Structures are given as structure tokens and as C-alpha cells.
Structure 1
């Protein structure tokens, strides 16, 4: 699956522990790329990490 530049930016923001909007959080969790963590933080799943790695040059 190919991601848009915006979706890649969302995953990068989650990876860097930067805030993302509730809509972006919902998208990432719904696609299985992220999970909610303690105190409202988000973390990437292995699928999210793999997707970032496969889009590293984007």
C-alpha cells in the first residue's frame, strides 16, 4: 500500500512523539500503524515502522 505525503508525515510525527490531531490518530490506529500509549501518547506498531521504512525516501 502506498501512503500519501501527509500520511507519512503523520507516522513520522508519531515516531518522533510529536502531537497529531485526533483525526490523524484515529486514521493511524484504524489502519494498524499506531497504538495509544500511556498519558495520551502514541506509538508505532511494527506495521507502522515497516511502512515508514518502505517509504523512507519519500
Structure 2
């Protein structure tokens, strides 16, 4: 982990909902269904304090 200006960068999100952090590992995706088609795309996810980044590689899933 690395903390810069009060924001912690880490591989896996912590369980602390109040921590300010940017993490990966979970690889969130958004799924949108419309007119019988489903679109699945990588996305960022946040709860206001924590940000989970999408996967950037081709083999990491979301």
C-alpha cells in the first residue's frame, strides 16, 4: 500500500468504509440490458470514499 495526501492506494479494497482509497482486484463491470441485448463494460465503482478501478488487461475479466 501507498498513502499520498490522505488517499491510500492498494491492490485489494479494505473493509473500512470510511477510508479514502483507490483499489483494484475486484474488477467491476456494468451490465445494461435493453431490447433483448446485454452490454457488459468495465467501469469504476465508488461509495464516495473508496474507488475501485476496472481491469485494464485483456485477461482479468471485468
Tell me the TM-score normalized by structure 2. 0.24
- Is the radius of gyration larger for structure 1 or structure 2? 2
Tell me the TM-score normalized by structure 1. 0.24
Higher normalized helix content (fraction of residues)? 1
